[in-house]
Amino acid sequence: MPNPHPYDRLTPELVIDAVESTGRLTDLRIFPLNSYENRVYQVGMDEGDPVIVKFYRPERWTEAQILEEHEFSYELFDAEIPVVPPLKNEAGKTLLDYEGYQFSVYQRKGGHAPELDDLDNLLILGRLTGRIHAIGAQKDFQHRPTLDIESFGENSFQLISEKFIPSDLRTAYVSLCEDLLKTIKQQFSQTTFTNIRVHGDCHSGNILWRGESPHFVDLDDSRMAPAIQDLWMFMSGDRPNQTAQISELVEGYNEFFDFDPRQLHLIEALRTLRIIHYSAWLARRWEDPAFPHNFPWFNTQRYWSDHILELREQFALINEPSLQLF
């Protein structure tokens, strides 16, 4: 009989009981939200607006790492930066326990994904990211990790090459990744940058646009990293489009924090590390029943062939001259 998954006990009844253990009275309505690493639910209240409840994946973060994320979110919130911090209970705690699960409760915030093809929106996002980094640079994380080549690149490459890549594709994959990681190491060593506290996962799903302005949600992946990590994920398209996009982002960013243009040299290196890390993330979570259900295309021959093709395209991009600001 297979080993039970850590989330197997997280039934709707347990979710309701956990929320009501905080002194809140629910209306028993529960709606799962789009989250795979953790489990996140909207839970209706007997009075007032629903709340959002996040159950942390067991053994992913230590308690100290989670609390450091919460502390960072409150530093931003207290500086009137539009983020959504966890709510505090009567004792001032943000990280709660119920039946072996650690969880936090959040105010529900509405909004829609940002339109990243609008340069005016990128200017606003640049300003907001600059404000976040002005706070993030004031001190370092002591417990949360750093985005580095070893954890994102080398460890991910090792896992995939040893346990997941099909045998007929392994030689091509290994050779390509070794060349990529060698090039990335050279680029990191040749680029002067400072790691600061960043959001860490600035894709459109973690930004909600409401009215004229956005707010950031989910600092679960916050870590130490170069500032460009929170900017490059807003970019897409061909080189002229990306040049216009990063120029607009940096124009807004510089209103609140100084961007070092030498970090532009790291964009494709960081993008490559994310691509490798993302495949390894799916591989590491494959025993979680939610992953085969939601990512049925993963770990197929077609998936790995396309993955290698994508990395070959990255190898070409990573050797091109870096983007230049207008």
Q: Which residues are catalytic?
A: 201, 218
CA gap 279, 201 in Å, rounded: 16
Per-residue b or e along 285-324, where b marks 16 or more CB atoms closer than 10 Å to that residue's CB: beebeebeeeeeebbeeebbeebbeebeebbeebeeebbe
Please enumerate in sequence order all residues whose Cβ is within 8 A of that of 288, keeping only pairs 6 or more positions apart, or say none: 5, 7, 36
CA gap 310, 318 in Å, rounded: 12
Answer for the pair 44, 29: CB distance below 8 angstroms, yes or no: yes
Best CA proximity match to 115, nearest among 183, 198, 189, 207: 207
Best CA proximity match to 290, nearest among 3, 2, 102, 8: 8
Q: Strand, coil or helix: what is 289? A: coil
Q: Say how many Å lie between the first and final Cα of the chain, rounded.
A: 61
Please enumerate in sequence order all residues whose Cβ is within 8 A of that of 289, keeping only pairs 6 or more positions apart, or say none: 5
Tally of CA atoms within 13 A in the half-sphere of 118 that contains its CB: 9
Residue bearing tokens 């209706």: 44
Return the number of other C-beta atoms located less than 10 Å from residue 240's C-beta: 8
